[in-house]
Structure formats: C-alpha cells, structure tokens
Amino acid sequence: MTLPAPAEVLPHRAPFLLLDEVTELRLGEGAVGRWHLSGEEEFFTGHFPGRPTLPGVLMLESIAQLGAYAVLSDARHAGKLPLFGGVDRARFRRQVVPGDTLTLEITLGRMSARAGRGAGRALVDGEVACEAEVLFVFADAAG
C-alpha cells in the first residue's frame, strides 16, 4: 500500500514542511517517516557557520508533523487541525548535520475530541537524536 505524500495530508508547505515521506501508518496508533537533510536548507547557513547543525526545535517540529499526519489520516479527525499544546521530556542525544536522514517515529497516546498526545523520536542511522512527548489540541481546520 502506498501512503499519501505528507503535503496531501498536512497543511504545511515549504519551507516549513519537515517531513519528506511516511513509510508506515498504523491508524490510531502511530507512524514512521523520514526527513532527508540535503544541507541546502536555509537554517544551516546560520546554525552554525562552519559547523552546521540541525536546530533541536526543528527536530521536535518534524516529530510533531509526523504525529499530525497520523492523526489527520484517521477519519475521526477530518476537518481538524492539530496544534502544538506542549512538549514534555524533550532530550537531544546527538548532533544532526547536513546529509543526515532523520527516521521519525511517533506512537499516539491518549486522544479525546479536543486534544491528544504522542511519544516520538528522531533517529539517525538507528541512533536516537531526539526524543520527546508532544501534546496537541484540535482547532477547526477552516479559519
């Protein structure tokens, strides 16, 4: 089964779509995806000159986008927009540099009609780069 491209599910667009592909989707449970870092991304220019490093907050955002993909793929949440409600237990374990591919994982936790949570990680070559719990609240997708 071929999964829809992230841009077909998420409202995010370049330059803020931080998810290139979803490789696994378990409805109501979670997902796995990837973000390929070419090194051409604008943020590498200033973070940091001479030693480009992916900002940790963008790793968190990529995990959250995968979570949003998993949530929005469930028909029960049609017409909703999951927005960040918080981040707990965030830890950054290794530097991520141009040329790396982040393998993203999210496991959805408790969900209600108004909010939900998930536990996610970003890995490079099987090594954890970032892990966190993300909380989100639902807003209506139409303004």
Spell out the domain ranges in the chain: 6-140
Contact at 8 Å (CB) between 59 and 45?
Answer: no
Tell me, yes or no, if 47 is annotated catalytic.
yes
According to the model, what pLDDT value does residue 143 have? 64
Instruction: Give the separation between CA 99 and CA 127, rounded to whole angstroms.
Output: 15
The residues pairing with 18 across neighbouring beta strands, listed in sequence order, are none
Report the pLDDT value the prediction gives residue 25, as an integer from 0 to 100.
Answer: 98
Q: Which residue has the tokens 């108004």?
A: 114
Among 12, 36, 47, 77, which one carries the catalytic annotation? Answer: 47
Domain spanning 6-140: CATH 2.60.40.3880: no
> What's the mean pLDDT in 74-98?
95
* SS3 state at 41: coil
Per DSSP bridges, beta strands 101-111 and 30-36 are antiparallel
Segment 12-26 shows an average pLDDT of 97
In tens, the pLDDT along 21-61 reads 999 999 999 999 999 999 999 999 999 999 999 999 999 99
